Amino acid sequence: MLSVFHAFLLGTVEGITEFLPISSTAHLMLATHALGIPFSTFTKTFTIAIQSGAILAVVVLYWRTLFRWQTIFRLLAAFIPTGIIGVALYPFVSGSALENIPLVLTTLALGGAFLILFERAHTQRPPVDISEYVTIRQAIGIGFAQSLAIIPGVSRAAATVIGGMAMGVSRTAMVKFSFLLAVPTMFAATGLDLLKHYTLFTRSEFVALAIGFVMAFITALITITWLLKFVQTHSFAPFGWYRIGLVTLALAFIVIR
């Protein structure tokens, strides 16, 4: 069972990691494992549902942009491929995938290496077109890229930003679009999971869920502001090295334990 402290800590981890290219799901899985919290139906739903707290931070910060028709059309174009693939793979993700620590460590490491190599190649051979605007065609491609994040450890932020940059969208524009695309994507994922399992939860579990939600919201507000400043002068390569370092630390922890 999740204690108030656990909910507070995991909500903070979610808010910090949701929009960084380091996989919030992976961090929540590793933190849950490190804290000795047993995997259960509620634990799985908790790690999915508190992401909506972080997403609410995007709504608060960007509601004017979010409800423009141009934005809505592009978000729908990106969300459709993710939604179709997500529904198809939901049984796998909600089942064994969210308990598979070897899988998440592997995707974290491979994703970290890919970030480093992509940023090196991107710096050496910048795209001909660096656009501050996402087209409908690019949005569809970004949606397919985002669907890779269904696999725990891949990182939705990394998949969308790198996918968009590969299609010629600027880093800053893609970070902002990734923020906005998280709104329909994560609210849909949370709604689907809660609809299936909410009748199984106790009152204390709903309290833990509320605490995690609030902490994710607060810390996400801070992280979003910081990340927008960071990407103006930095690449994502440091996050790649961080991912590899985290995997090394996790493996050492498992061996020692």
Q: Report the alpha-carbon distance of residue 126 to residue 68 in Å, rounded.
A: 30
pLDDT in tens, the chain (257 residues): 688 899 999 999 999 999 999 999 899 989 998 888 887 777 878 888 888 899 999 999 998 888 888 899 999 999 898 888 877 776 666 566 667 888 899 999 999 999 999 998 877 555 555 667 899 999 999 999 988 888 888 999 999 999 999 998 988 899 999 999 988 877 776 766 666 766 667 888 888 989 999 999 999 999 999 999 999 889 999 999 999 999 999 998 875 66
Residue 200: per-residue pLDDT: 67
Contact 179, 161 (CB under 8 A): no
| H-helix segments, the chain | 4-17, 24-34, 41-49, 51-66, 69-94, 101-124, 136-147, 156-166, 171-197, 203-230, 237-256
For the record, the structure tokens of 71 come out as: 């934005």
Residue 60: per-residue pLDDT: 93
Closest CA to 191 of 97, 98, 92, 86: 86
DSSP-derived 3-state class of residue 154? coil
Contact 227, 161 (CB under 8 A): no
Residue 253: per-residue pLDDT: 80
Residue 59: per-residue pLDDT: 92
CA dihedral 238, 241, 247, 252 (to 10 degrees): -110
Q: Report the alpha-carbon distance of residue 165 to residue 32 in Å, rounded.
A: 33
Residue 151: per-residue pLDDT: 85
Q: What is the CA radius of gyration of the chain?
A: 17
Residue 204: per-residue pLDDT: 86
pTM here?
0.87
Q: Report the alpha-carbon distance of residue 92 to residue 210 in Å, rounded.
A: 26
Amino acid letter, 8: F
Residue 126: per-residue pLDDT: 57
Residue 98: per-residue pLDDT: 65
pLDDT tens digits along 14-72 = 999 999 999 998 999 899 988 888 877 778 788 888 888 999 999 999 988 888 888 99
Contact 219, 16 (CB under 8 A): yes
